[in-house]
């Protein structure tokens, strides 16, 4: 399961969802694996505003990964500056010409790092623990299981 998924996951127990401590879920005894994936710059840029950055930093540090910067990168930080003049990039964006953008722009090191952490770093085995109730959800063969025992439904 790629780490980006954790940005959209919380405890499956209804009473936990209103408790801020239930987000994010905390990985425990996690075995990580890098599964290489194509870097999609447009996708990264678009997903950027949706990231709960502070929480991702916490997860990343709990997993012993390299520390994420204190503040989230801006979309422009994801593009190699020498490659495309900024105004061209903005025009393309306004026209929604995602295809053209992908061809013209080169991902920066920041983009590559972000891609590595969010989309290529996967939890293969381990647990995801709710910070509110302490319930542990198992991750096996890269699949997290959120089915609850009968008494918790």
Partner 1 sequence: MAESEAQGADYEAEHVHSVYEEIASHFSSTRYKPWPIVERFLKEQRDGTVGADVGCGNGKYLAVNKRVFIVGSDRSTNLVKIAREHEPHSTVVADNLSLPHPSGVFDFAISIAVIHHLSTPSRRVEAVKCILDLLRPASRSASLDGGKAFIYVWALEQKDSRRGWDEGHEQDVMVPWVLKQKKVKEPKQRKRDGASNEVVAAEGEQKPDGDQTFLRYYHLYKKGELESDIEQAGGAVVESGYEKDNWWAIASLK
Which stretches of the chain bind partner 1, using CB under 8 A? 1-2, 4-5, 8-14, 17, 23, 37-38, 40, 42-43, 45-47, 50, 96, 98, 119, 137, 141-148, 150, 153
d(C-alpha 89, C-alpha 97), whole Å: 10
Q: What is the nearest approach in angstroms of partner 1 to the Cβ of residue 120?
A: 10
Q: What is the nearest approach in angstroms of partner 1 to the Cβ of residue 153?
A: 6
Contact between 124 and 3 under an 8 Å Cβ cutoff? The reply is no
Q: What is the nearest approach in angstroms of partner 1 to the Cβ of residue 105?
A: 15
CB closer to partner 1 out of 65 and 144: 144
d(C-alpha 42, C-alpha 19), whole Å: 33
State the Rg of the chain over Cα: 18
CB closer to partner 1 out of 13 and 65: 13
Residue with tokens 């090191």: 109
CB closer to partner 1 out of 67 and 141: 141
Tokens in use for 131? 């910070």
State whether the Cα torsion 68-73-75-78 is positive or negative.
Answer: negative
Tokens in use for 83? 């490659």
CB closer to partner 1 out of 42 and 84: 42
Q: What is the nearest approach in angstroms of partner 1 to the Cβ of residue 73?
A: 15
């Amino acid at each position: 399961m790629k780490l980006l998924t954790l940005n959209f996951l919380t405890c499956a127990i209804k009473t936990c969802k209103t408790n801020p401590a239930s987000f994010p879920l905390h990985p425990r005894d996690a075995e990580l694996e890098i599964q290489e994936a194509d870097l999609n710059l447009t996708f990264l840029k678009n997903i950027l505003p949706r990231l709960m950055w502070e929480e991702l930093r916490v997860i990343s540090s709990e997993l012993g990964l390299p520390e994420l910067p204190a503040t989230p990168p801006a979309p422009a930080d994801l593009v190699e500056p020498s490659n495309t003049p900024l105004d061209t990039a903005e025009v393309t964006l306004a026209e929604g010409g995602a295809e053209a953008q992908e061809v013209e722009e080169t991902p920066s090191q920041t983009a590559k790092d972000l891609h590595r952490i969010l989309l290529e770093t996967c939890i293969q085995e381990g647990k995801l623990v709710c910070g509110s109730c302490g319930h542990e959800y198992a991750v096996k063969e890269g699949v997290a299981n959120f089915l609850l025992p009968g008494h918790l439904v």
